[in-house]
Chains A and B, each alone.
Chain A
Amino acid sequence: MNTSGVSQPNLNAASRKNLFRLRDVYRIYGQEPVAVHALDGVSLDIHAGDFMAIIGPSGSGKSTLLGLLGCLDLPTKGSIKVDQTEITDLEDSERSKLRGNSIGFVFQQFHLIPHLTALGNVSTALLYRELTKPEIKERSLAALEMVGLGERHDHRPIEMSGGEQQRVAIARALVTDPLMILADEPTGALDTKTATIVMEIFKNLQSENRAIVLVTHDLEIAEQMDRVVSMRDGKIVADDLRSERTDALEDRFWEAGKGGKLE
């Protein structure tokens, strides 16, 4: 457990690049006296090579943290740096570009564009980057190959199973070679067998150059990660490394979620 106030438990973190740096981040919705403090002074470092899960009960602030990590939202107060760039200083268009270049998203409901093929969906992530058509196609096909769907590149989402759709979404997330892949309940809509396949893909995507962050309710999924950040009431209450885990994660989770309600 780290005690410095900054969630940064990795022992050899100093040797790895700091990709995301959150300091005293608050996200408050509405005005006092009815304001909701979704994030309450969160500080967190995410390094290249991190393979981490964010867990916590409903209302703990996971989704808000996910939105901020994904540069989809701005904090009410505090600092968020993505690879040395302070995102709170950026214009919306600059933030969009940073998001496109640095973050790959995977969602529980896949969010594929229904009228596009698998290749079209993956290619969408490479648009407006001054790449030629053949370059876009080549990189998109390579990403689909990585998730084992090269052969099915011309299929539309409706012609694919849930697991295949999620693999297309993963290919779309990694085709831009982002600093971080941010996955929101990536196995939440899948059966156990398919979920296992998807988790295997995530494991294979681990790299020293990027971080993979999963937000999940599934403790079995969290168990497979190297680092687990637990949240409660808008705060990070635990940040464990696999090597440091002496107690069962489940106990941690229940402890973290005390008073909260699990979904």
Chain B
Amino acid sequence: MNWFREILSVALGGLTARKVRTLLIMLGPVLGAAGIVAAVGLNESAKGDVRQTLEKLGTNLIVASADGTFSGGQAPTLPEEAVERAMNVSTVDRAAGITEIGSLTVLPSQGGRDFFRTIPVPVLTSDQNLLDVLDAKMLYGRFINGADEDNVFRSAVIGQDLASDYQYLPGEARTIDVNGETYGVVGVLEKVALVPKLDTAVIIPKSSAEEDFDIEQKPTTLYARALEGTVDSTSEALPVAINLGGSEGVVVAIPSDLLEAQGAVDTTLRNILFLMGGLALLVGGVGIANVMSISVIQRSGEIGIRRALGHTKVTIAMQFVLEALFVGVLGGLAGVLAGVGVIYLVSAVLGWVATLNLPLFLVAGGMALIVSIIAGLYPALKAARLEPLETLRLG
């Protein structure tokens, strides 16, 4: 133990005596580890916002809709009792349906009629618990409620993008023209990431829709939240439950799957970036071997005198391997920190969500350490093989 402590102290002394050289050697593992951490980290951070959204929305929303292949021009519909039937599935936590009303023209009440006529705006009715099922929020105002339904009020809730298109000001009392009928806008719905079509839609009470447009109250789409961990089994059970006896005519989708796919890190790209970081580390390793080899030549006098004083080849080699090990540990740590710094900096500038991958830090730091030790082996052996007679120039 004493032996190891002494050799450790000699190695540290060798490093601290030549600070600039030590820093130069350390550049290799620093850049390599920083390269790996930053390259992979940035790749993950670029997708961080998508993944963060997904975490917020959850991955248990299932969308069931009527298969449109048999219904001709009319929007295909689910059975009228679809929501009740869906709730019979024990793993369904909550469910709500919407009914899309086709072929309606929507216009902002004032101005620009001709221009807005060309933009298709979906008009739909929904169950009152739609927000709860979608985990959606109102940007301002309120959603369609019982009073609207009971009193056949012409009230409307519109999506955030539509409000923006129509240049509605927050809180402004506005009306909207739905196929010639004027509806009062009672609220604007915040963006619904999992159901983007709601962002441009107009939602009106079922009672008003029936009266104004004479439609059937059969849902065209049903949204259901499955209990945690039952998404797959629920999505299998749902079509059967809705259609009672057969799954034909009902298709299910899990919208978070798409987001998940968008948010998934491109493994090929990540591997390429990782490889490039590794390459930087390898180049750094060659640098270590190079600078340390020169150092061995410069310090041949010191090595010779140590050998003359009785230090064995093993202790000389250990001294240099330990120097490389210190370089690897410190360089690896500094590299990981530098990589994290780069991730935060770039994420801040580009508006990404900085994503840190802890196991990657261990891999990058560990690789820096291993490369440093391997790179230090050659100069260490070279130092150990130096003959003291040749370096001391006797006589």
Which A residues fall within an 8 A CB radius of B? 62-63, 66-67, 70, 72-73, 92-93, 96-101, 105, 107, 109, 111-116, 120, 124-125, 127-128, 130-132, 172, 176, 184-185, 215
Q: Are A101 and B389 in contact (CB under 8 A)?
A: no
Q: A73-B389, A96-B310, A100-B310 are in contact. Are A128 and B395 (CB under 8 A)?
A: no
The distance in angstroms between the C-alpha atoms of A151 and B13, with both chains bound, is 23
**What are 27 pairs between A and B in contact, CB < 8 Å?**
A62-B395, A66-B394, A72-B308, A72-B388, A72-B389, A93-B312, A93-B314, A96-B307, A96-B312, A101-B310, A107-B305, A107-B392, A111-B304, A113-B305, A114-B302, A115-B13, A116-B13, A124-B305, A125-B309, A128-B3, A128-B7, A128-B315, A130-B3, A131-B2, A132-B2, A184-B395, A185-B395
Provide the residues of chain B in CB contact with A101, threshold 8 Å.
310
Cα(A63)–Cα(B18), bound, Å: 33
Contact B312 A92 (CB under 8 A): yes
Question: A163 → chain B, closest Cβ, in Å?
Answer: 19
Set A115, A130, A215: member contacting B2, Cβ < 8 A: A130
CB distance from B389 to the nearest CB of A (A): 5
Q: Which among B2, B7, B310 is the interface contact of A99 at CB below 8 angstroms?
A: B310
> Bound state CA distance, A105 and B301, in angstroms?
14
Report the nearest A residue to B314, measured CB to CB: A93
User: Which B residues touch A176, using CB under 8 A?
Assistant: 310
Contact B314 A172 (CB under 8 A): no
A113 to B302, Cβ gap below 8 A?
A: yes
CB within 8 Å of A: which B192-216 residues: none
Q: Which of chain B's residues has its CB closest to A68's CB?
A: B389
Which secondary structure characterizes the binding site on chain B?
helix
Q: How far is the CA of A113 from the CA of B302 in the complex (A)?
A: 6
List, in ascending order, chain B residues with CB within 8 A of A70's CB: 308
Q: In the complex, A107 Cα to B305 Cα: how many Å?
A: 10
- Write out the residue numbers on chain B whose beta carbons fall within 8 Å of the beta carbon of A130: 2-3
Which A residues touch B2, using CB under 8 A? 130-132
Q: Is B311 within 8 A of A96, CB to CB? A: yes
Chain A residues near B302: list those with CB within 8 A: 113-114
Report which residue of B301, B392, B394 has the largest number of chain A beta carbons within 10 angstroms of its beta carbon: B394
State whether the Cβ of B346 lies closer than 8 Å to any Cβ in chain A.
no
Output the least CB separation between A133 and chain B (Å): 9
Per the bound structure, the CA–CA distance linking A115 and B16 in Å amounts to 9
In the complex formed, the residue of B with least CB distance to A263 is B395
Q: Report A-chain residues with C-beta under 8 Å of the C-beta of B307.
A: 72, 96
Q: Measured between C-beta atoms, what is the minimum distance from B117 to chain A in Å?
A: 85
Nearest CB on B from A97, distance (A): 6
Question: What 6 pairs across the A-B complex have the smallest Cβ distances?
Answer: A100-B310, A63-B395, A115-B17, A93-B312, A63-B394, A96-B312
